[in-house]
Structure 1
Amino acid sequence: MLTRIARTAVGRPRLIVAVALLLMVLSGAIGATVHSHMKSGGFVTEDLESVRAGKYLAENFPGSEPNFVLTITAADGPDSDAARAAADRTIAALRTYPYVTGVQSYWTARPDLKQVMRSQDGKRALILATIDGDDAELPDRAAVLSKELQVTDGPVIIQTGGLAATFADINTQISKDLILAEAIAIPITGLLLALVFGSLVAASLPIAIGLFAIAAALGILRVLTALTDVSIFALNMTTALGLALAIDYSLFIVSRYREELTAGATPADAVTRAIRTAGRTVVYSALVVALSLSALLVFPQYFFKSFAYAGIAVVAAAAGAAVIVLPALLILVGDRIDAGDLRGPLRRVFRLPPRREKQPRETFWYRLVTAVMKRPMTIALATTAFLLLLGSPFLGVQFGYPDDRSLPTDVASRQVGDILRTEFDADLASSTTVVLPEFRGSTQELDAYARELSKIPEVPAVLSSAAVYRNGLRVAAGIPEMSSPQHGAYLSVATSLDPYSDEGGAQLDTLRAVPAPSPTLITGPAALNQDSVTAITGKLPLAGALIAITTLVLLFLFTGSVVLPVKALILNILSLAATFGAMVWIFQEGHLSGLLGFTATGTLNLAMPILMFSLAFGASMDYEVFLLSRIREEWLAGPKTSAGNTEAVAMGVARTGRIFTAAALLMSIVFLGVATSGVSMMKLFGLGCALAVISDATVIRGLLAPALMRMMGTWNWWAPKPLVRLHNRFGLHEADEAEKQPVSV
């Protein structure tokens, strides 16, 4: 199939390039507005207790869960005429929107409830409201309200926050960050490619394929939004993945093409040979990455499913562009692949001797790997200990639901969140709501239950239809609207704790343990966090097993060995564990927060390590496939002895080390572009993936993998006889081809 593709590219290069340009423009046009069709949630499913409780409240007690919070700040205090007039105008404006319910405020509350809606310094007061809508409608409506209602200067300042405004600000921030990330990544990768190839023409080809992948990614995401829910967080990640993989795949194919030209082949023969060798490995590698991403489909949350759908499609687009469009470009470029050579002029400027192509045994990588394999046990133990030390902080990981602290400190919803956490007796946006949908009891029963809840430490107040309680004492009459004449009631339990902290989780467990007069459902930030973490972790074993099984099977079919796939799986897990440990140390514990510009909350968003594992695992296997491909060719062409294995490993790394290290550096640049995001979870993802890719291409491929392969000797290539027969029938074979003409990737 790849040979036919190469021959088609050789025969009709202009047609293929023209069609590719048309698809690129069409995809870009379709995907130009994709961000406005994506959603901000997707971390929970309808079957969770907290979600069912929220749905019950929305249907029976509209406005009972405020998700839109406005702070009114006045130097003369909220009781001044100016503050009261601004509040009246704001409340009147809110009530004109049909999707806004449950408007409450300091100015309209009963005297005994005013305290919790006024800041401790007496300069601010609150307006609370509920915006109805799903994950797509909520941020759009909040953005409209924020634009109309916010006042940033004058005697009275009005800022908007709460869950709805946070979602809106995250959408806006991610859309801006995408432009910045690409503006950083593309020029830097172009410069690095020029340094790697020494030629402007050769460097421009991977960039062209990368731009095609970005346009395809945007178009694919837009089509997916018309078919299913797609998370806004997929925007940065899938475009980054498409760009990174397109450049990676193109780098390997262009390198192979130049090698064939140097050996004396014509451009047509060089293209065909490059696609039959490096192109085949690209397709196999893309299959490994796509199957790693497909494990995300086991999670019921659309946050993960959208990454699986989009990621698989983008990987296919990047690989397709590399093996279909790139060959056509190579034919059009032909012998001019080295045009715009920068190496000669630079060497003349710095008075360096002319560049000489080194033989594999003269390279740094050959010398490094040979030295490593002279002391394999020492290197393996030292490297493993180092990676385990880096990974040790992950043992203390704490997971939490993302909130406004994911945003920069100058964003309005983040500022409102900080104000609620630090300047009010209770953060009303973090209250836990206890729902009693079947309650038909007396007021006294509800009264007694609310009294017991108010005795829980760090609960400033409990509001119910019966009464308002603090520390077990009745301080005010209740709110009749909190119960239904037919049946059902709810209680609002304020808290002074961070709902995502260990203490907040422990408080929620204590609340659940209090005997209730009827079955309860509990919602609120702490409950949503607890429910979502439990739901996600329940699917982790299945997702991990699918990734492991598919990796082992594919690498067995690729190598014919059962040892090398197990070795690759273990090394990838070790590398990723070290990366996760570093992420806990940086983002959960707050080290480098000032340098990187984020706020540590003491937790990590559980979704990020899962996405990082799927993407970084696929990228790591990408390099494993390229390296094993060359090592296997050397092994097939050499003696089947321990010395032959050692030489095959050294030559394989020597021939590919420079290329996959450059590829890893280029991919890490793309991910570091994502790390410039103002949203902390995107920053975590970008930095984590960059570190995972770099450590895998250096520490793992340069030190640990060669040391282990030297220790295992000829056992690297062992498989039971039944599996040997299976591989002979279904596996990937290139022994005859390798014997005829040794190839390199």
Structure 2
Amino acid sequence: MSTWLARIGAASMRRAWLVIVAWIVLLGGVLGGALALGPNMQESFEIPGTESQEALDHLGSVFPQVAGSSVQVVVRADDGVAAHRDAIIEQAEAMADVELVAQAVDPWSEYANEQISADGTVAYTRVQFEPTDGAKPSTLDEVVATADALRADGVQVEFAGQVFQSQSVGVTIVEVFGVVFAGVVLFVTFWSLLAAGMPLITALVGVGITMGGVLGASALVTVSNSAPLMALMIGLAVGIDYALFILSRHRSQLARGMGVIESGSLAVGTSGTAVVFAGITVIVALVGLLIVNIPFLSVMAIGAAGSVAIAIAAATTLLPAIMALAGERLRPKDGGRAHRLALRDVDAQPTLGMRWVTQVAKRPVLAIVGVVVVTGVAALPAASLQLALPDNGREAAGSTQRIANDTLQEAFGAGTTGPLVVMLDITQVTDVMGTIDAVADDLERVPGVGRIAGAFPDATVDTAIVQVIPTTGPADPATVEVVHALRAIAADVEAEHGTPMSVTGATAVQIDLSQRLADALVPFGLVVVSLSVLILLLVFRSILVPLTAALGFVLSVVAAFGATVAIFQWGWGADLLHFEEGPILSFMPVLTMSVLFGLAMDYQMFLVSGMREAYAHGHDARSAVRHGFAANARVVTAAALIMFFVFFAFVPEGMAMIKAIAFGLAFGVAVDAFLVRMTLVPALMTLMGERAWWLPRWLDRALPEMDVEGESLGRHRATLAWAADAGGHLALERLRPEIGHDEPGDASWTLVAPRGAVVRLGGRFADRQRLAHALVADIRAAGHAHVGGAALPGDAARLRERIALIDLDLADGSAAGTAHQAARAALALRSPFAVGPVLDRRAAALIERAAEAAGTPIDADAPMARLAPRERAAVLLAIAMERTPSVVWIDAASGAPAGAAAIAARLGGDDMTIVTSEPAPEAHGRPALELVPASAAEEDRAAAAAASAARGTDPDTDTGETPTEALATTGADR
């Protein structure tokens, strides 16, 4: 991946304006589409598979007038509502005439039930929408407009109901302060306004596209009001951080003298690979929320995951393009602060990070105990976590829904704002009204039930509903107990009255949703922790490192939950942060866990990968912890501060639904970055020492190579640099193919051949086969290989295109079919849509070319196994030339037939490089070379002697690196 990303970075920098214009067009198109479609934000807390939702769906088909969304229109008149009776009834009639309104029951209707307060100053009209589309903003606007006449008479009219929860994306100036703080952190990190502005630009472009996409999608699917803010918050934070990682690497390399394009592509290939990995972990965790099967949460998760994906794309394409335009202006000035920091020797001049990790390493046990105690204390309140969905009582003070909610609860009791609906199946009942009244009496005796607001059957007399008003509000934990108590007597009701019952209604749906999310919290946490262990196992190839990372993640999450409970549920600092205490938002824990997981893995990877690299470069385990930490602590600190400021900016004035999530993420990031990753992890790594990097050999063989740190990119760049010095079209230097996993063979191959050369291939057939397959990356190999600009590792696909392997043994008795069929099948693969007659004509022409090149007739209808070796080689070479390779490799167990090189030369032209195992190939004026394996041990000694001679040292005592090894180390250095 690192090599591929490096190419993307280089291409973006070479075509900077094209990339920038493409992003601008994409941004304009998405925002324009969102405006054209018109945002239509709605709250819909449907939860498939629950009793409440199934009952509500059933009511939608048999009793639609009670199944849709509802609104309570609250009127208050100091002189008594009776004085305005006619006007209130007229308003109800006007609302009933609004399209998509099923019914409007005024306080004096025969269907009304205690809708006038005891003192006569407050009353409410119940408005019921159709089961679908009733919550559209246009419909609500018409309903609200009916209050104008009453308000003109001095009557206070307010509207309550789930559909009146915030209908817009509430971005305030406080959120902008988060971006400003992020800009300050970036400036302090880079000491450059130009560099500080780049991550902000890419993040804002990405967020603009995300917001446009989410708002546009709201016209097609139900999108929660909090979904855009969630995508904005996460997209802004990760967008800035991901660009920071890449830009920081780029500036550090520029300070060391690297060229602009070279540095940018390397930064994208190395730090960009880490960014992609970190982003994918966030995306996987967010998309994993789909398994909870809650539609509005799924939409929110997909929107947030989309914002992360766009942030990755912007960091790896748009940012390099902007870096290219800035060019040399990003290079730190000689002697400047940024230049000194990039070249600083942390041993001679310890940075703050080096001083911190040194103190941690001196007292690792104390650091571990301290972190565990602090996070443990912060986590204690999590034991009393209560989950609920927001109601109108959590809306902003002064809003119509908040005033209406408070007025209803004051005049009629808290339960009025969250009625429950009990659905009865009366198909087997003979005395319908008697049974309904009897069931209503049973329900009214349930503890926590305040009153029965109504009980009546539908028009077909097969379903009845009983409206139950609890004594407590919809977000009160006591209401949950009422729902459970009602469901507990369902079996007794059915046994006594012969009518199955279900508890539903908006309040019951929300309670069921909260319960499902609470039940999913532990399993989802186990999945996330297991995923973190697996991913880090692949990355670091260690058992203990992933386990310490997972332990740290658990500490961060429970500390974030505890702090959120203390602040938002217990009310500590409620006035300061402008909110009212109450149950925690139901989906806050799973969302916080999924996002924090990705961020934690991000910090873990950047810090511990530096430790692993230092360990690989010769530091002992303790020293590697210190040097690896010091190399990346500054950028991780900046990233964590940015995340904290961006998340926390949504707390003071953000939407009620977002505040708790934003606080949990801000607190969790701070704990995870500064306590867990920068204190606990170095302490644990110091205590584990060499054991930190232990991995069973069998597991090491089974795990795939992730190369998150871009080690293959370093080797690839080293090979390209070596090839530029060595010259030649086909170049090999001490290429040593493996004979098994991590078991290099003894055959070592070295060659520099110009374009068009004829190379005689010697050695054992097994060694030759391994060499051929190593060149096309079928097996791994040490050393360097280069073919016309494509190098190993990193260019496997390009090498397969440029090298044609002709194994003549595959055309003997083990292969069936005639020469014509073989040619036709090969041509069909290249032209899958060509018709049969065309393929036949082209196959015949191919056989003719092969015969002409071989200088002998070839029977097209003869089986390939019965053709003479020369004829068979000619057919296979003609087939291979269809894809115009630059190197043709001819081999067989008994050696290629005489004349194979000549046939290849006639078919391929003067520029083709030919490698053949025939004993004495004809060069025909081309450069003729020999390629035979040498003993790997002999080549190692020869290379060491050459390197020592270049340094003027004794090869028997010199332990320095060879020039090639030094080059590879430089290329892979982070």
TM-score normalised over the length of structure 2: 0.68
| Residues 314-713 of structure 1 aligned to structure 2 (within 5 Å) | 314-337=307-330, 358-361=344-347, 362-425=350-413, 427-439=415-427, 440-442=429-431, 443-465=433-455, 481-484=456-459, 486-514=461-489, 515-516=492-493, 517=497, 518-601=499-582, 603-639=583-619, 644-713=620-689
Q: Secondary structure at the match of 1:313?
A: helix
Counterpart selection for 1:718 from 680, 694, 697? 694
Distance 1:148 1:189 in 2: 46
Percent identity, aligned pairs only?
A: 27
The structural deviation recorded for 1:187 is 3.1
Counterpart amino acid of residue 645 in structure 2: I
For residue 226 of structure 2, what is the aligned residue in structure 1?
A: 233
For residue 30 of structure 2, what is the aligned residue in structure 1?
A: 27
Asked if structure 2 preserves the Cα contact closer than 8 Å seen for 1:560 and 1:731, the reply is no
Q: Deviations over 1:297-316 (max 9, x none)?
A: 21211222213322332222
Change (3 A) 1:658 1:121: farther
Asked if structure 1 preserves the Cα contact closer than 8 Å seen for 2:206 and 2:310, the reply is yes
| Residues 69-84 of structure 1 aligned to structure 2 (within 5 Å) | 69-80=72-83, 83-84=84-85
| Residues 168-207 of structure 1 aligned to structure 2 (within 5 Å) | 170-172=166-168, 175=169, 177-178=170-171, 180=173, 182-207=175-200
Asked if structure 2 preserves the Cα contact closer than 8 Å seen for 1:561 and 1:716, the reply is yes
Distance 1:213 1:46 in 2: 33
Q: Deviations over 1:161-212 (max 9, x none)?
A: 122223xxx122xx1x235465333333223322321111111111111121
Distance 1:307 1:357 in 2: 44
| Structure 1 residue 4 corresponds to structure 2 residue 4 | no
For residue 741 of structure 1, what is the aligned residue in structure 2?
A: 970
Q: Deviations over 1:239-290 (max 9, x none)?
A: 2222211211111111111111111112122212212221221122222222
The structural deviation recorded for 1:370 is 1.0
For residue 217 of structure 1, what is the aligned residue in structure 2?
A: 210
Asked if structure 2 preserves the Cα contact closer than 8 Å seen for 1:139 and 1:165, the reply is no
Asked if structure 2 preserves the Cα contact closer than 8 Å seen for 1:39 and 1:136, the reply is no
Change (3 A) 1:360 1:292: farther
Change (3 A) 1:206 1:135: farther
Distance 1:3 1:144 in 2: 56
Asked if structure 2 preserves the Cα contact closer than 8 Å seen for 1:636 and 1:735, the reply is no
Asked if structure 2 preserves the Cα contact closer than 8 Å seen for 1:38 and 1:136, the reply is no
The structural deviation recorded for 1:74 is 1.0
The structural deviation recorded for 1:485 is 5.2
Q: Deviations over 1:123-149 (max 9, x none)?
A: 211111112243784455224422442
Which is richer in helix?
A: 1
Counterpart amino acid of residue 360 in structure 1: V
Distance 1:328 1:430 in 2: 54
| Residues 70-149 of structure 1 aligned to structure 2 (within 5 Å) | 70-80=73-83, 83-109=84-110, 116-134=114-132, 137-149=135-147
The structural deviation recorded for 1:731 is 5.4
Distance 1:622 1:227 in 2: 34
Counterpart amino acid of residue 423 in structure 2: V
Asked if structure 2 preserves the Cα contact closer than 8 Å seen for 1:291 and 1:547, the reply is no
Distance 1:620 1:314 in 2: 18
Distance 1:148 1:199 in 2: 57
Asked if structure 2 preserves the Cα contact closer than 8 Å seen for 1:201 and 1:338, the reply is no
Distance 1:301 1:431 in 2: 22
The structural deviation recorded for 1:617 is 1.4
Distance 2:261 2:453 in 1: 78
Which is richer in strand?
A: 2
Distance 1:180 1:84 in 2: 44
Asked if structure 2 preserves the Cα contact closer than 8 Å seen for 1:91 and 1:103, the reply is yes
Asked if structure 1 preserves the Cα contact closer than 8 Å seen for 2:39 and 2:216, the reply is no
Change (3 A) 1:498 1:225: closer
TM-score normalised over the length of structure 1: 0.88
Distance 1:381 1:320 in 2: 40
The structural deviation recorded for 1:10 is 3.6
Change (3 A) 1:651 1:355: closer
Comparing 554-563 with 179-188, greater Cα deviation is found at 179-188
The structural deviation recorded for 1:393 is 0.8
Q: Which has the higher Rg, Structure 1 or Structure 2?
A: 2
For residue 474 of structure 1, what is the aligned residue in structure 2?
A: none
Distance 2:239 2:134 in 1: 31
Higher relative contact order, structure no. (Cα contacts within 8 Å, ≥ 6 residues apart): 1
The structural deviation recorded for 1:702 is 2.0
The structural deviation recorded for 1:502 is 2.7
Change (3 A) 1:340 1:28: farther
Q: Secondary structure at the match of 1:494?
A: strand
Change (3 A) 1:55 1:294: closer
For residue 247 of structure 1, what is the aligned residue in structure 2?
A: 240
